[in-house]
Structure 1
Amino acid sequence: MILVTGATGTVGGEVVRLLAGRGERVLAMTREPAKVEESPGVEVVRGDFDDPASLAGAARGADALFLLSAPGPWAARHDEAMVAAARAEGVRKVVKVSAIGTGEEREGVTVGDWHLAGERALRSGELDWTILRPSSFASNALGWAPQVLRGQPVPNTMGDGRQGVVDPRDVAEVAVTALTSEEHVRAVLTLTGPELLSVPDMAKVLGETLGRTVETVEVPLEVYRESLIAAGVDPGFADIAVDGSRTVARGGNARLTGDVERVLGRAPRTFATWAADHRAAFVSG
């Protein structure tokens, strides 16, 4: 029995689908089970990271846990609560989604190590664990859809900084492999795509997929921060988001690894593949 947190999200939903397709018994955790349709092999259970009793109930009977908590200042509290519940309920293995660069010191830039406490909680006990540190998700480009549909340039807060943009489906496949095998125990896997891409690079690839040019527009970091706060984002979260963009612009996330290929036995998907598979999100009608 495998408990999946974040079961209605991009990565968690794919993990549920893949596990069920392999015949695994899955517990899909969500705060509102009534809004989720059950499917063969999948039992929907209630769990709220801010309700420890619900986490214990969700973990009861599970042998393994896929841990994905929403990024933000609350991540440490949520991860620690879920790991504590897993230990108390006898869960044997945890696969946690962290983030590339977690725990690293970057000169001149404050890095929000939201996932560091969760990583430490796993390392400090007897659980079998695997930590996944993905680079920027290709699916972040879905945030450009409103501009692309209107024929407007997409915002760029990272200049020409490049990243090893990774397809979330590859992250999910790696997670499933770690959850269902005895390989990669107590391993930290840094997951990237096969190429380094900047925002203009991604816009160019997307434009080629759509058969038209997709332009970008530079957004100053102070404007970016103000827009986040105006949208209701916590100022602390906004500061860390700005620092992240600054880090990328300075080349701080320009790295590729072979971990996806090592685990899956194939090359990671390209951004062009992701764009082609999600083309419908960027076209009207």
Structure 2
Amino acid sequence: MILVTGATGTIGSEVVRQLVARGEKVRALSRDPENARLPAGVEAARGHHRDRASVEAAMAGAEAAFLVGVFGPDDAENDRGLVEAARSAGVRRIVKLSGIGTGDPRLGVFGTWHLHGEQAARDSGLEWTILRPSSFASNTLMWVPAVREGSPAPNLMGSGRQGVVDPRDVAEIAVAALLDPRHSGRTYTLTGPETLSAHEQAAVLADILGRPVPLHDVSPQERREQLRAAGLSEHYADGLMVTTRFIQEGGNDVVTGDVQDLLGRPARTYRQWAEDHASAFARD
């Protein structure tokens, strides 16, 4: 049995799908399992990474676990708790989803969000693998409403370039690490084959869709007002602003060969992802 936390999220849902396709037994942790739309044969477990009791119950009988536990600066203890719950339940192998740049002091507080969970994994005595993906290609789905309307989509990153990675590649590597002990004790930084700015991604989309995809470059002041209006704390907003500036200034202009080395093929490009998801941007 393999437990997948964050089972309806960007990576977790794809990990579930790929494990099922391989014939593995899968248990999916979800806050709302009745509406989770899980593949046939997947065992649904109700719970949340912040509810330790539900996590421990879901871990029972699992041999491996995919851990997704950080959604903000206040989740460090819960992230560590996922690892502790896995160890207590007798789980043998864990794969932790982290983030590129973890530990980089230039990222400020955001660079520390995953540190506690990463260290807990390394200290756990279990077979562990840590994945540090770059910006997901699927992040541009936030542009869908604007692209459908033909209005400018928000660009938070200025001209900063990132090694945009396809979530399917990240999930494929997670599945490999869940099933193969040869990945134990490794930390992988996962990127696509090239770095792209938001405007370059928009140009790719425009070429595929056959119509313009304009962007509105959100100013720092606009961004801060948006974050505060969304109810985020000053601390959380500050952390995200530092991260945005880091990317705008080229801090995430990074490409690694880990995806190709691990999968034995080139990493998928943003164009490949966009071609496969063009229908999401189509006008009604």
TM range (shorter): over 0.9
Deviation at 1:245, TM superposition (A): 1.1
Q: Give the match's secondary structure for 1:28.
A: strand
CA-based RMSD of the aligned residues comes to: 1.3
Deviation at 1:6, TM superposition (A): 0.4
Q: Which residue of 1 aligns with 2:244?
A: 245
Q: Is 1:235 aligned to residue 234 of structure 2?
A: yes
Deviation at 1:33, TM superposition (A): 2.2
What is the TM-score of this pair, normalised by structure 2? 0.96
Contact kept in structure 1, 2:84 and 2:124, CA below 8 Å: no
Q: Select between 134-143 and 207-216 the one with higher mean Cα deviation.
A: 207-216
Contact kept in structure 2, 1:24 and 1:41, CA below 8 Å: no
AA in 1 matched with 2:30: T
Q: Aligned partners of 2:121 and 2:160: how far apart in 1?
A: 32
Q: Which residue of 2 aligns with 1:277?
A: 276
Q: Aligned partners of 1:233 and 1:151: how far apart in 2?
A: 29
Q: Select between 167-176 and 230-239 the one with higher mean Cα deviation.
A: 230-239
Contact kept in structure 2, 1:130 and 1:186, CA below 8 Å: yes
Contact kept in structure 2, 1:261 and 1:268, CA below 8 Å: yes
Deviation at 1:229, TM superposition (A): 1.5
Q: Which residue of 1 aligns with 2:7?
A: 7
Q: Aligned partners of 1:252 and 1:131: how far apart in 2?
A: 21
Q: Aligned partners of 2:100 and 2:73: how far apart in 1?
A: 17
Q: Select between 170-179 and 147-156 the one with higher mean Cα deviation.
A: 147-156
Q: Is 1:94 aligned to residue 119 of structure 2?
A: no
Q: Aligned partners of 2:70 and 2:9: how far apart in 1?
A: 10
Q: Which residue of 2 aligns with 1:212?
A: 211
Deviation at 1:13, TM superposition (A): 0.6
Q: Aligned partners of 1:39 and 1:259: how far apart in 2?
A: 29
Q: Aligned partners of 1:256 and 1:37: how far apart in 2?
A: 34
Q: Which residue of 1 aligns with 2:199?
A: 200
Change in 2 beyond 3 A, CA 1:220/1:19: same
Structure 1 gap ranges (5+): none
Deviation at 1:70, TM superposition (A): 4.2
Deviation at 1:156, TM superposition (A): 1.8
Q: Which residue of 2 aligns with 1:141?
A: 140
Match of 1:110 among 100, 108, 111: 108
Q: Select between 79-88 and 151-160 the one with higher mean Cα deviation.
A: 151-160
Q: Is 1:180 aligned to residue 179 of structure 2?
A: yes
AA in 2 matched with 1:223: E
Contact kept in structure 1, 2:4 and 2:27, CA below 8 Å: yes
Structure 2 gap ranges (5+): none
Contact kept in structure 1, 2:95 and 2:178, CA below 8 Å: yes
Change in 2 beyond 3 A, CA 1:38/1:191: closer
Deviation at 1:36, TM superposition (A): 2.9
Q: Aligned partners of 1:224 and 1:196: how far apart in 2?
A: 23
Q: Which residue of 2 aligns with 1:35?
A: 35
Deviation at 1:271, TM superposition (A): 0.4
Contact kept in structure 2, 1:23 and 1:41, CA below 8 Å: no
Identity of aligned residues (%): 52
AA in 1 matched with 2:113: W
Deviations 1:204-233 (A, max 9, x none): 111111101212222111210111211223
How many residues of Structure 1 are paired with residues of Structure 2 in the alignment?
Answer: 283
Q: Give the match's secondary structure for 1:66.
A: strand
Q: Which residue of 1 aligns with 2:54?
A: 54
Q: Aligned partners of 2:85 and 2:208: how far apart in 1?
A: 45
Q: Which residue of 2 aligns with 1:77?
A: 77
